[in-house]
Amino acid sequence: MDPKVSTAAATPSPRSLRARDKLMHTAERLYAEHGFANVSIRMIREAAGHRNKSAVQYHFSSRDDLIQAILTRHATAIERHRWPMVQALDTSGGVSVRDWITCVIKPSIEHHIDLGTPSWYGRFLAQAVVEPSLREYATQVSMDTPSWRRLQQLRPSRRDSDPASDPASDLAERHGAMVRLLIVHMSAELETDLAAGRVPPSGAETSWRRLGDDLVTAVHGLSSALLETSSP
Amino acid sequence: MDPKVSTAAATPSPRSLRARDKLMHTAERLYAEHGFANVSIRMIREAAGHRNKSAVQYHFSSRDDLIQAILTRHATAIERHRWPMVQALDTSGGVSVRDWITCVIKPSIEHHIDLGTPSWYGRFLAQAVVEPSLREYATQVSMDTPSWRRLQQLRPSRRDSDPASDPASDLAERHGAMVRLLIVHMSAELETDLAAGRVPPSGAETSWRRLGDDLVTAVHGLSSALLETSSP
């Protein structure tokens, strides 16, 4: 193998990186606003200002590859919020259920605040998690992170039989699915309201934090209720 | 206006109704299995066995019209389950919060059991509620029913300030959104597991009823928790 070729392939030029970045942003916006079903690769290329017909194919091997790259970028940004929160939890001694749930929910809320208004990630992700060819990747990409794995080890044990304490259990899986979809789809709903002007941009940060608090409370209540029923 | 023309338009032949029905079933299955983004009108027409290129256009004015017809058909079937449940609640005197939540959740669970295995409605609906052009219709179609409107009037009042007692309030809206999306997306997840054989067909009815019970419990817990926080 020619080392020059492999170096060239591994180190794209800044210009190439910018073009790739622009394609990802454009795709995310179009998918969020019009739906996966109504956006073609050609529309993305044209909206990103490329005349070269194979511009998208040059950067991404397929539509799913493009979408997965967008998902990965957001997961990396969320990881930057979750990692210090999990570290703080790690050194705090006793972990309360509420603190633990906060570490599950708040990092993606903070990421949404970072994105500003309008953003497109919420609506984009809500579609990805229900599309057959993408749902698995969209779910796994945030769980295959160091902070998520550490968080699973820190899960507070309770005196009662905790449905979530055995992550392989059936109830734990159903519970995890409920929590995941509450976060994803409630975030998409708020983003939709912000994009439509039903919530003014000046109220965006407050609304995101309120959604975060609502979700922590709701997930806490939901988890306690499911746990109580499952106790012998 | 020629009355004969209007009569002809209002009364499609049994053959035309069967063709329309077949197109709806085929579309629902293809959308559920491959995603809205990956299914064209042509694929639906061909899979339904039509050689005439305008077969879909003859029955439906657009893709969204076709999808809305599918949504309406399911809403009508769910209404047939909910109406007697709401009537029973209506004549029972005191309505408990749990009974009320059961009337929200169980009708669509019963509808899923009626559909048998495999079914496609769950995955179809999960995509419709997150697609920009369809989400409003997909949400409203089940709320614009006599049983749903009656159920709102029967909502149990509590001694505490009930976040859900004023349906126009902001918290009531956020709470309603959480409940709605839990039902829609958890049903889609179970349907996916059934379709993939991760849950055997013989266990389908048990799994649907367990999901119904889980959802009633989870929604009860979630609602109580949100209520408590919102109390002065």
Looking at residue A194, its pLDDT comes to 95
Contact A178, B186 (CB under 8 A): yes
Residues B40 and B98 in one domain: no
Residues B139 and B95 in one domain: yes
Looking at residue B4, its pLDDT comes to 45
Segment A110-138, tens digit of pLDDT = 999 999 999 999 999 999 998 989 999 99
Contact A55, A43 (CB under 8 A): no
Residues A29 and A77 in one domain: no
Taking residues B103-127, report their average pLDDT: 97
Residues A38 and A141 in one domain: no
pLDDT for B40 beyond 50: yes
Taking residues A139-143, report their average pLDDT: 93
Q: Structural domain of residue A30, as residue ranges?
A: 1-60
Report residue B6's pLDDT band, with 50, 70 and 90 as the boundaries. very low
Residues B214 and B110 in one domain: yes
Residues B129 and B14 in one domain: no
Q: Give the whole-number percent of chain A exceeding pLDDT 90.
A: 75
Distance from CA of B141 to the nearest CA of A (A): 18
The CATH number for A26's domain is 1.10.10
Task: Inspect the interface and report whether the beta carbons of B130 and A185 lie closer than 8 Å.
Answer: yes
Task: Inspect the interface and report whether the beta carbons of B226 and A226 lie closer than 8 Å.
Answer: no
Q: Which residue has the higher pLDDT, A172 or B30?
A: B30
The DSSP secondary-structure symbol of A157 reads P
Segment B152-187, tens digit of pLDDT = 999 886 544 555 555 557 788 888 899 999 999 999
Taking residues A179-197, report their average pLDDT: 94
CA–CA dist A52, A58 (Å, integer): 10
pLDDT for B232 beyond 50: no
Looking at residue B61, its pLDDT comes to 94
Taking residues B43-51, report their average pLDDT: 96
Please report the residues numbered 6 through 65 in chain A whose beta carbons come closer than 8 angstroms to any beta carbon of chain B: 32-39
Burial of A68 (0-12, 13-18, 19+ CB in 10 A): middle
Contacts 24+ apart (CB under 8 A), B227-232: B227/B158, B227/B160, B227/B161, B227/B162, B227/B163, B227/B164, B228/B160, B229/A213, B229/A217, B230/B161, B230/B163, B230/B171, B231/B160, B231/B161, B232/B161
Q: Does A98 touch chain B (CB under 8 A)?
A: no
Residues B90 and B9 in one domain: no
Q: Which of A54-63, A71-80, A154-163, B206-215 has the lowest mean pLDDT?
A: A154-163
Report chain B residues whose CB lies below 8 A from the CB of A35: 36-37, 131-134
Looking at residue B171, its pLDDT comes to 82
Q: Give the whole-number percent of chain B exceeding pLDDT 70.
A: 88
Best residue in A97, A105, A129, A130 for a mutation probing chain B (most B CBs within 10 Å): A130
- Structure-token pair, residue B154: 């029967």
- Structure-token pair, residue A220: 């806490």
Residues B77 and B135 in one domain: yes
Q: Which residue has the higher pLDDT, A172 or B223?
A: B223
pLDDT for B1 beyond 50: no
ipTM value of the model? 0.83
Residues B92 and B178 in one domain: yes
Looking at residue A167, its pLDDT comes to 53
Contact A72, A141 (CB under 8 A): yes
Q: Does A181 touch chain B (CB under 8 A)?
A: yes
Residues A5 and A85 in one domain: no
Give the closest of B37, B217, B229 to A131, CB-based: B37
Residues A185 and A129 in one domain: yes
Taking residues A84-101, report their average pLDDT: 91
The number of domains in chain B is 2
Instruction: Report which of A165, A176, A163 is spatially closest to residue A219, judged by C-alpha positions.
Output: A176
Looking at residue B10, its pLDDT comes to 66
